[in-house]
């Protein structure tokens, strides 16, 4: 997949969406740009991407933050995923989907609900034992720097259950909204709590 760094001498919006997410584990400027000799330099999560203005930026195939997916993640026998960087344990599929060994992906479970309001998402998590709705920083940790459409490693997380997902983080500026993350493009936006979105649950590592 290739992206032009600029469109009409402005930063490509697709690349800009990927770079705007703020997460404590990434250091350096979230997004910045400056002229470079004969080209353009973009600081994205502290990583420097350089290219000539007239040349496309190649992101190649989507890769995880660590080259080997099995190092970044451990896929457990119960179809949960342990993130080796954060220690968090994720359900491999969003709620309403189940992992199919035959299809090697998350498959729709017609007997369960696939989308929830924010309050329904919190209730769903409360009914799942030690599973919970991730906060915004936890869910953003699934976003990979080199990935877009979707913005996660699909070798671990099936693309059939990706889209806008609720976080447990309420919006400070407006009581009726909470933060939601689109796993397709990595955009984190405030959303009306009455909106029905997908849910991916997480749990903390056993101490």
Q: What is the pLDDT of residues 29-54, one digit of tens each?
A: 333 333 333 333 333 433 333 333 33
**Cα angle, residue 97 at apex, residues 91 and 99 outer, rounded to 5°:** 65
Give pLDDT, residue 207: 64
Q: What does DSSP say about strands 97-100 and 164-170: parallel, antiparallel, or unpaired?
A: unpaired
Q: Which residue has the higher pLDDT, 35 or 75?
A: 75
In this model, does residue 84 exceed pLDDT 50?
yes
- Got the DSSP string for 70-103? HHHEEE-TTSEEEETTT--EEESS-TTEEEETTT
Beta strands in the chain (DSSP E): 2-4, 6-7, 10-11, 31-36, 39-44, 47-52, 56-58, 73-75, 80-83, 89-91, 97-100, 105-108, 164-170, 177-182, 188-192, 202-203
Structure tokens at 43: 């600081």
Least confident among 35-44, 74-83, 101-110, 190-199: 35-44
In the chain the domains, ranked by start, together with CATH numbers, are 2-58 (no CATH), 69-203 (3.10.100.10)
The span from the CA of 35 to the CA of 40, in Å, is 5
Q: What is the pLDDT of residues 122-172, one digit of tens each?
A: 999 999 999 999 999 999 999 987 777 888 888 898 877 788 999 999 999
Burial class (CB in 10 A: 0-12, 13-18, 19+), 103: exposed
Does the predicted model carry a pTM greater than 0.85? no
């Amino acid at each position: 997949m290739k992206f032009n760094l600029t469109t009409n001498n402005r930063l490509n919006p697709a690349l800009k969406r990927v770079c705007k997410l703020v997460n404590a584990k990434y250091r350096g400027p979230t997004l910045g740009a400056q002229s470079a000799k004969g080209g353009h330099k973009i600081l994205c999560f502290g990583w420097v991407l350089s290219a000539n203005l007239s040349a496309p930026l190649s992101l190649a195939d989507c890769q995880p933050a660590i080259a080997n997916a099995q190092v970044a993640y451990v896929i457990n026998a119960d179809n949960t995923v342990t993130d080796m960087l954060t220690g968090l344990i994720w359900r491999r599929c969003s709620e309403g989907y189940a992992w199919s060994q035959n299809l090697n992906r998350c498959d729709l479970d017609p007997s369960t609900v696939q989308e929830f309001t924010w309050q329904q998402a919190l209730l769903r998590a409360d009914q799942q034992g030690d599973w919970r709705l991730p906060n915004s920083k936890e869910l953003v940790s699934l976003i990979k720097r080199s990935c877009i459409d979707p913005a996660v490693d699909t070798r671990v997380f099936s693309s059939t259950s990706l889209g806008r997902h609720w976080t447990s983080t309420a919006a400070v500026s407006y009581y009726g909204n909470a933060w939601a993350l689109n796993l397709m493009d990595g955009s984190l936006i405030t959303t009306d709590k009455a909106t029905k979105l997908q849910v991916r649950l997480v749990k903390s590592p056993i101490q």
